[in-house]
Amino acid sequence: MKIVLQRVTSASVKVDGEIIGQIEQGFLLLFGVGHEDTEEDCRRLGDKIIGLRIFSDENDKINLNLESVGGSILVVPQFTLYADCRKGNRPNFIQAAKPDEANRLYEYFVDYLRSKGQHVETGSFGADMKVQLLNDGPFTIILE
């Protein structure tokens, strides 16, 4: 599982020109699933994301988590995180999970975050999405 986490002041995702997911302060997660990924990986990374202390406190120290700032999460499925560009100029996606399994784990991950009390908005699996964000910092973390 690969997740690109961006701390944002706002983010949204559109499909066919219509906003289907939108948040203010929080995390934009680009979410990719590989062949070996499991529900346990979803829970482990979900807990890590919820607990990450990457928001500034009153002393301008990076010390607060998502709950402390009342933040939300926008999760966008993105199989291209598994692009392999080592050979040639056209990436291959052999390491990405098959669509049915990737979608199942994507939905599981979103449901897990919600079960932990998080406000979660989503993209649309398999759709052509337009993602807009205002990265705060910028602050970007890659989780595997």
Residues marked active site are found at 78-80
Q: How far is CA 92 from CA 31, 82, 109, 139, in A?
A: 18, 8, 25, 28
> How far apart (Å, rounded) are the C-alpha atoms in residues 117 and 108?
15
What is the residue whose two structure tokens read 């500034």?
A: 56
> How far apart (Å, rounded) are the C-alpha atoms in residues 11 and 83?
24
- Assign 3-state DSSP to the chain and report helix, strand, coil percentages, each to 5: 25, 40, 35
